[in-house]
Structure 1
Amino acid sequence: MKRNIIIIAIIVIITILVSYVVGKFAFGLIDVQKYSLIPPSSKKFEVETNVKDESLLERKGQAFTIMTGTVQSGYSETASFGLKIIKNATIDIYVDKGKFLETYNTIASLVSPIGGSVINSYYSKDNDIYSGFIEILIPKDKFDFTINKLGELGNILNLKISSTDVTQEYVDLNSRLKVLDAQKELLTSWLKQAKTIDDLLRIRSEIENVESEIEQIKGRLNYIALNTDFSKIDIYLKEGTAPKTITTSIFDKIKDYLKVPLNAFLYSVIGLLVIIAFLIPWVLLGFGIYYLFKKIKISKV
């Protein structure tokens, strides 16, 4: 008796596992979202912040996402150049209806007194609602000041700050530039000592290649210098009420926890139905053959 119970239990477990696998495979062929017991939870607005200025974070209904880069340096030359950090930001601001143009002009006039400039801007009106974009370039030492000022102009929905450490690249480029300058000086001395046309042409070609690489490096150094001395802030301005962020309730968490076992149960049920549907024709066929042989055996007797 005990042995039969163990055999039955093993058969039941194997049946559940097989039905789960078959059901999961079957779900891959049909619309899972349509038959799932619990629909997938919607995307939630995640807030991750590392803002040093607490004044911005005290504003209710505002969410900030700060992406900060790590600073790494393994060169002794870094001390002479200083850290080279490219720091930019993107900010979404909602203002009350009727205050868009006033806020737009305030932002445009904010950057000039601090040594910055507006490098791109536009706005439009759709269904009596204004929206626009302003791209400003400001000195890096005025970055926090500007972010705080922008925070006073309206309701901030998103704030993303990115920092990229280019110190290593800057040091490498300067080292490479020194080598190229020395190489150019050496080639120039050889050019003065050349005695044949072929030597003149060959050395001159080498000098041109070196000069071309020098110009490329200087261009990259100028780019790094500009972007580390100044910060770019992209401002998306819109009139109206900022959409509310989605908060996760305890019921949402419970629903997410129950989603896996419930869907696993659904997989098993579907798999079991698939197995039954697959086995029914074969069972009927086997029963028919058995009945036919049994009838033939009885007729012979």
Structure 2
Amino acid sequence: MKTKRLLLSLVLCALIMTGCASRAQSAVYDSGKSYDGNVTSSLESPSVAAMPEDMSFSAAAGGSAQSATDATADESNQMIVKNATLSILVDDPSQSLSDIMQMASDMGGYTVSSSRYRSYSSSGDTFPAANVVIRVPADKLNTAMDQIKAMTGDAAKYVTNESVTGEDVTKAYTDLQSRLRNLQQAADELSKMYEKAEKADDVLAIYNQKMQVTEQIEVIKGQMQYYEEASATSSITIDLEAKASVQPITVAGWQPTGIMRDALQALVNFLKGFVNFLIYFVIVALPILAIIGLPIFFFVRWLVRRSKAKKANRNQQPPLPTVK
């Protein structure tokens, strides 16, 4: 039985040494790249948790000599996660929202979220607006964006914001593949040792190690699936506002620009605000002041009159006779 325990310890040590060697290879590979391999946080995806040092098989996920070959992935197989944002002005945001959702479905994509609401312009008026997030096949991203911009009627004038970002996850995906292979090899070795174990303590120890390795395998598979889906489709976030919300000031057919436009807009905003204040004052403030102020006014008036009456009575009293 002692021989079996010794054999188990030797196998565990061998796997740990293999993992340490693979980590060193991974560090050398990282120093030769010009981009950061830590893409998990930027993608806001479920991360593969760092394995505790006290787990016997955690180091086996690092990779063997074969991981160095896999790390140099062919550029033709690169996995790029692309996301885009658009802010556009349209005649009817609600109708354009429906058209965008239908377009995504026709392209083989889907709608992630959508909302309709009302926005306030600089003048205080309300206008309809909408927001939608869609996902389309990565190879149709440019086509989808062109169709969305075409809904404005004049992309150069009514597209207020456009951006496309990309994240290269090729290295991260390749590292996960290497870790997965090593963990699967470790799981196979543990299965063989589990079948040969006879003592209950050995069976329990091997079983616990096998469960830990299996859990790590499932986490890595989930991460790989996320990268595959994220690189296969692209996300587009679209903000839609009504064109009427940004209509320029027109004076007798003339549209001022620059400082003149800003000054006129400020004047218009002030006049609107002043008129709104007068309306609120007459409708809201005056009735409240009448309800509260009139009783106070009459009470103060009564006190003043009473005080004057008392003073007048004192003045009318005859002077007291003097004693000689």
Provide TM-score, normalisation by structure 1.
0.54
Q: Which residue of 1 aligns with 2:93?
A: 100
Q: Which residue of 2 aligns with 1:231?
A: 234
Q: Which residue of 2 aligns with 1:130?
A: 128
Q: 2: distance between equivalents of 1:192 and 1:120?
A: 50
Query: Which entry has the higher C-alpha Rg, 1 or 2?
Result: 2
| Residue 248 to residue 178, structure 1, CA distance change in 2 (3 Å) | farther
- 1:211 aligns with one of 202, 211, 214: 214
**CA offset at residue 160 of structure 1?**
1.3
Please tell me the residue identity of whatever aligns with 2:169. V
SS at match of 1:111: helix
Q: 1: distance between equivalents of 2:202 and 2:215?
A: 20
Q: Which residue of 2 aligns with 1:197?
A: 200
Q: Which residue of 2 aligns with 1:79?
A: 74
Answer whether contact 1:118 1:134 (CA < 8 A) is retained: yes
Q: Which residue of 1 aligns with 2:146?
A: 148
Q: Which residue of 2 aligns with 1:91?
A: 86
Answer whether contact 1:133 1:237 (CA < 8 A) is retained: yes
**CA offset at residue 108 of structure 1?**
1.2
SS at match of 2:160: strand
Unmatched runs of 5 consecutive residues or more in structure 1: 1-69, 250-301
Q: What is the aligned residue count? A: 176
**CA offset at residue 132 of structure 1?**
1.3
Answer whether contact 1:91 1:156 (CA < 8 A) is retained: yes
Instruction: Identify the range of structure 1 (152-161 vs 185-194) with the bigger mean alpha-carbon deviation.
Output: 152-161
Q: 1: distance between equivalents of 2:171 and 2:75?
A: 13
Q: Deviations over 1:60-102 (max 9, x none)?
A: xxxxxxxxxx879996532398101000011111113xx2222
Q: 2: distance between equivalents of 1:115 and 1:93?
A: 23
Q: 1: distance between equivalents of 2:75 and 2:206?
A: 34
Residues 1-301 of structure 1 mapped to structure 2, 5 A cutoff: 76-77=69-70, 78-79=73-74, 82-96=77-91, 99-126=92-119, 127-154=125-152, 155-240=158-243
Instruction: Identify the range of structure 1 (146-155 vs 166-175) with the bigger mean alpha-carbon deviation.
Output: 146-155
SS at match of 2:129: strand
| Residue 142 to residue 148, structure 1, CA distance change in 2 (3 Å) | same
Q: Which residue of 1 aligns with 2:292?
A: none
Q: 2: distance between equivalents of 1:182 and 1:214?
A: 11
**CA offset at residue 239 of structure 1?**
1.0
Q: 1: distance between equivalents of 2:102 and 2:199?
A: 64
| Alignment root-mean-square deviation, CA | 2.7
Please tell me the residue identity of whatever aligns with 1:102. Q
| Residue 227 to residue 189, structure 1, CA distance change in 2 (3 Å) | same
Q: 2: distance between equivalents of 1:186 and 1:224?
A: 29
Provide TM-score, normalisation by structure 2.
0.50
Q: Deviations over 1:14-39 (max 9, x none)?
A: xxxxxxxxxxxxxxxxxxxxxxxxxx
Answer whether contact 1:85 1:228 (CA < 8 A) is retained: yes
Q: 2: distance between equivalents of 1:156 and 1:80?
A: 34
Moved over 2 A (4+): 70-77, 125-128, 240-244
| Residue 192 to residue 95, structure 1, CA distance change in 2 (3 Å) | same
Q: Deviations over 1:259-299 (max 9, x none)?
A: xxxxxxxxxxxxxxxxxxxxxxxxxxxxxxxxxxxxxxxxx
Answer whether contact 1:157 1:242 (CA < 8 A) is retained: no
Answer whether contact 1:180 1:214 (CA < 8 A) is retained: yes
Q: 1: distance between equivalents of 2:80 and 2:178?
A: 19
**CA offset at residue 210 of structure 1?**
0.3
**CA offset at residue 125 of structure 1?**
2.7
**CA offset at residue 236 of structure 1?**
0.8
Q: Deviations over 1:163-210 (max 9, x none)?
A: 000100000000010000000000000000001000000000000010
Instruction: Identify the range of structure 1 (71-80 vs 130-139) with the bigger mean alpha-carbon deviation.
Output: 71-80
Unmatched runs of 5 consecutive residues or more in structure 2: 1-33, 38-66, 120-124, 153-157, 249-256, 260-324
Answer whether contact 2:94 2:116 (CA < 8 A) is retained: no
Answer whether contact 2:117 2:129 (CA < 8 A) is retained: yes
Please tell me the residue identity of whatever aligns with 1:185. D
